Amino acid sequence: MDTQRALKGKIALVTGAGRGIGRAIAGRLAHDGALVGVHYGHSADAAQEVVAEIRKNGGRAFPVEAELGVPGDADAVFAAFDAGLRAESGVEGSLDILVNNAGVSGSGPVGQAVPEVFDRMIAVNAKAPFFLVQGALPRMRDGGRIINISSLATRRAFPESVAYAMSKGALDTMTLCLAKELGGRGITVNTVGPGFIETDMNARRRATPEARAALAARSVFDRIGRPSDVADVVAFLACDDSRWITGQYLDVSGGTDL
């Protein structure tokens, strides 16, 4: 398959695409031919860098600014997305691929939990994706793709991140329900569950050479995952080759803790 044409003519929205996994996903989908809305909440400079890099490499992208986890966030995302899409392509109200990637972490164990942090986790990691899907469906063409970025923390015990794991577990359940509901339209819905990936979100876990080596050793490949490891799987789920896969949780952890 010619990956540079696999998504030609498709329109994608990737949340939290200014850095880390989201940045890699946006770049890969654009490489494969999609026009990509690069969503960000606060990192405007980083998102503009992503857009510029995609365009430099011959792809098409535009920035989408809207904070998640606040009232009206989904409406704000699609207002910005529709405006950017119209300016970039002249098309309105169209979407083929939604990647719910944006997320926040840092919850701590149950004994240290506070309501404000818990509410923030749920608002960004679970509530926002739910209403983004709701806003996406009237725009999404039949045969579309919804891809939710969850976490290995929903399948392994990480007591130090219990609220985070709970919020990401909601995505796993949403995937199952939506896959059944949307199958009649040919829309697939899947979850990708990364393990330890080298991003800013988990930098504190790699603060020393010893800590880094310990994380790497949890994978059968004895290395920490790269954002591209996740982006490549998302690209597969976004293209027609994955048309017979829906309602699934794809473990993208490099065999962590086997």
The residues assigned a catalytic role are: 150-151, 164, 168
Q: What is the SS3 assignment for 257?
A: coil
Residue 100 structure tokens: 């719910």
Judging by beta carbons within 10 Å of its beta carbon (0-12, 13-18, 19+), is residue 98 exposed, middle or buried?
Answer: buried
Strands 140-149 and 188-194 turn out to be parallel
Distance CA(119)–CA(128), nearest Å, equals 12
CA dihedral 120, 155, 162, 66 (to 10 degrees): -10
Buried (b) or exposed (e) across 187-199, using 16+ Cβ within 10 A?
bbbbbbbbbbbbb
Q: Which of 189, 130, 122 is nearest to 162 (CA)?
A: 122
Residue 201 structure tokens: 């979100």
